Amino acid sequence: MYILILFLPLLSAIVSGLFGRKIGTKGAGIFTSNCIIISFLLSCYMYYEIILNFSPAYIRLWRWFDSELFTTYFGLQFDNLTATMLIIITSISALVHIYSIGYMAGDPHIPRFMAYLSLFTFLMIVLVTSDNYLQLFIGWEGVGLCSYLLINFWLTRIKANKAAIKAMLINRVGDLGLVIALIMIFKEFGTLDFSIISSSLITFEINNNSLTIICLLLFIGAIGKSAQLGLHTWLPDAMEGPTPVSALIHAATMVTAGVFLIIRSSSLFECSSIALVVVTIIGALTAFFAATVGVVQNDLKKVIAYSTCSQLGYMVMVCGISGYSVGLFHLFNHAFFKALLFLSAGSIIHAVSDEQDMRKMGALIKTIPFTYIMILIGSLSLMGFPYLTGFYSKDLILELSFEKYYIILAFWLASSAAFLTAFYSIRLIYFTFIINSNAPKEVFLKIHESSKIILFPLALLAFGGIFLGYLGKEYFLSNIITPIMPNSIKLVPLFFSLSGAGLAYFLLCYQINTLDNKVFKKTYHVIYTFLNSAWQFNYVINHLIIKQIWKMGHVITYKLIDRGILEVIGPKGLSVVFVKLTQIISKLQSGLLFNYVLVIIIFTTFFISGFNIFKVM
């Protein structure tokens, strides 16, 4: 039954991908959705067995690599972490599958789309159920590949192609770190199994420096996959794919893989304090950075993309201060309200004739109230509004980070991020729903609520967005000791969120009046441009790294080495030299009789006098 959880998404991918022509667009949608739903139900049952009945399961399928000291099985490990991740992945994926039937209706390539979605789910399940790093790497690369295929789904658009290539390549940078980490782990531990590694950490003395290096390399992998600061630029561009894809990538699967890796390797990370500090700081910086950028984005989906980036920063930060279960809890909650936000955004985009720019929306509260309620629930949950899902994990993350006095910076960065999160959430709602409409008349007249098949997953996710935090907190946080701190500090995140929301509402209502001062206007413009272009990360990376590498590739490897040194030493140079040499030699035969005679006489003289010319040479 446990293998069936893996097998069903694979089956649905194969059937939909290879036989999509046979089963048709409708059949593909229904078949894949049902497969994933069954997979979800099975993982619910598995959750009951593993977590509620305390019976983790290990399944060894077959021997995979077997050479001397290195033996790796293709094995499945179903423990608490895996069960939780499976619930997230299968539930969100099932809802996204159902949603896609409605959202992608009319697209001629639905079987392909469904096949990719199912393959994505399958590889993500492979990632979370593996019992060793090598098998995890299959899933790790696989979700990268599927993200490429999905972002690139509308492959006639050049922008989608570029974004997909970018996502793939930036992920590769992180994957390289992971590969090196795997090699280092094998060198130090002689195995790649999670269980053996964590047990050998207790019994054997492992060199502390190499542990730090392993952790940092693993973290580089997580940076790439989870879009932390530095390798985050692929995430906003990944918005080129269809909206359900964004929901899947950003809520449940792809980006959570990095956090999952950190949580899975928690025993390693606990042995290296340096790595933990790095993880915390990078996470906090990401949370802050992405929140500031999210404030000024005008693309509906990009706002949510940056908020994903920011929330991932929270998760990574709390993993850095050893609150792995809180990180997992936030991952769990975030999956639901982020999927809700993305799918609602898809519903809005669907309603306004595929317009993604927030500035061309407005007044949708009258026309699509259901979606408004959904996105409001999602946003409030994201802001950590008390008693909604986001509150339980986000507040705790902030409190835990306050406890670590040596990196109190993280607390303040994350709190400011909470402030900004509230700001951009309210801004998004204000621009799309409340402000007077800016849409063209022909678009405005056609605005309508989406079909039931789109709204149904939203309703379920809204349920998750409201209640799951409350329901899950007993399970997730049972081993967390809530830090003791003054009440004033405890209220800081809430205060920040509320003031951010209030400020956003206030500023947006009175925007015109405050922008009179010229100096203020100019600084505002500079800051706005800086933030709107995401701190110029793309510019800096393109100019300082990518262009240099391209130039190096052209000038050094292509011009100098390939077409230069290798050709001169190699075929072309040799042929030129030989042709010239033979030409010189054949010119000796001039056709003139007296020259021949001279040559004959010279060599005869040599011969008679016993002078061997070849011996001299």
Partner 1 sequence: MYLEYLIIAIVLFILGVLGIVLNRSNLIIMLMSIELMLLAISLLFVINSILIDNLVGQIFTLMILTVAAAESAIGLAILVAYYRIRGTISIKSLNLLRG
Nearer to partner 1, 568 or 597 (CB): 597
DSSP sequence for 342-388? HHHHHHHHHHTTS--BGGG---HHHH-HHHHHHHHHHHHHHHT-TTS
**How far is it, in rounded angstroms, from Cα 357 to Cα 578?**
67
| Least separation in angstroms between CB 602 and partner 1 | 10
**How far is it, in rounded angstroms, from Cα 43 to Cα 329?**
18
In Å, how far are 280, 282, 338 from 397, measured between CA atoms? 12, 15, 18
**How far is it, in rounded angstroms, from Cα 129 to Cα 2?**
10
Nearer to partner 1, 459 or 601 (CB): 601
Nearer to partner 1, 3 or 601 (CB): 601
| Least separation in angstroms between CB 546 and partner 1 | 56
| Least separation in angstroms between CB 595 and partner 1 | 8
User: End-to-end alpha-carbon separation of the chain, Å?
Assistant: 83
Nearer to partner 1, 555 or 601 (CB): 601
Q: Six-digit token pair at 142?
A: 């696989």
* Residues 425, 496 contacting (CB under 8 angstroms): no
DSSP sequence for 418-477? HHHHHHHHHHHHIIIIISPP-S-HHHHHT--PPPHHHHHHHHHHHHHHHHHHHHHHHHHT
What is the pairing mode between strands 57-67 and 70-78?
Answer: antiparallel
Tell me which DSSP letter residue 251 carries.
I
**How far is it, in rounded angstroms, from Cα 527 to Cα 293?**
10
| Least separation in angstroms between CB 585 and partner 1 | 8
Q: At what angle do helices 110-129 and 20-47 cross, to 10 degrees?
A: 30
Nearer to partner 1, 560 or 597 (CB): 597
| Least separation in angstroms between CB 590 and partner 1 | 6
Q: Would you tell me how many other CB atoms lie within 10 Å of the CB of residue 448? A: 11
Q: Kind and range of the H or E element at 59?
A: strand 57-67
Nearer to partner 1, 484 or 593 (CB): 593
| Least separation in angstroms between CB 612 and partner 1 | 22
Nearer to partner 1, 54 or 594 (CB): 594
| Least separation in angstroms between CB 609 and partner 1 | 14
Nearer to partner 1, 108 or 591 (CB): 591
| Least separation in angstroms between CB 580 and partner 1 | 15
**How far is it, in rounded angstroms, from Cα 114 to Cα 36?**
11
Q: Six-digit token pair at 491?
A: 């209220």
**How far is it, in rounded angstroms, from Cα 446 to Cα 442?**
7
| Least separation in angstroms between CB 606 and partner 1 | 15
Nearer to partner 1, 406 or 594 (CB): 594
Residue from 414, 390, 417, 398 nearest 473 by CA: 390
Binding site for partner 1 (CB under 8 A): 586-594, 597-598, 601
Nearer to partner 1, 488 or 586 (CB): 586
**How far is it, in rounded angstroms, from Cα 9 to Cα 3?**
11
Q: Six-digit token pair at 611?
A: 């002078």
Q: What are residue 62's DSSP bridge partners?
A: 74
| Least separation in angstroms between CB 617 and partner 1 | 22
In Å, how far are 335, 363, 391, 405 from 465, measured between CA atoms? 9, 24, 10, 32
| Least separation in angstroms between CB 579 and partner 1 | 15
Nearer to partner 1, 536 or 589 (CB): 589
| Least separation in angstroms between CB 597 and partner 1 | 5
* Residues 313, 284 contacting (CB under 8 angstroms): yes
| Least separation in angstroms between CB 553 and partner 1 | 47
Residue from 461, 472, 469, 464 nearest 52 by CA: 472
| Least separation in angstroms between CB 582 and partner 1 | 10
Nearer to partner 1, 69 or 593 (CB): 593
Nearer to partner 1, 452 or 587 (CB): 587
The b-or-e profile of 222-261 (16+ CB within 10 A means b, else e) is: bbbbbbbbbbbbbbbbbbbbbbbbbbbbbbbbbbbbbbbb
* Residues 310, 211 contacting (CB under 8 angstroms): no
Nearer to partner 1, 518 or 587 (CB): 587
**How far is it, in rounded angstroms, from Cα 550 to Cα 546?**
6
| Residue that is written with structure tokens 């769990």 in the block | 332
Nearer to partner 1, 548 or 605 (CB): 605
| Least separation in angstroms between CB 588 and partner 1 | 7
Nearer to partner 1, 208 or 604 (CB): 604
Query: For the chain, how many helices (H) and strands (E)?
Result: 31, 2
| Least separation in angstroms between CB 610 and partner 1 | 18
User: Furthest-apart CA pair in the chain: how many Å?
Assistant: 116
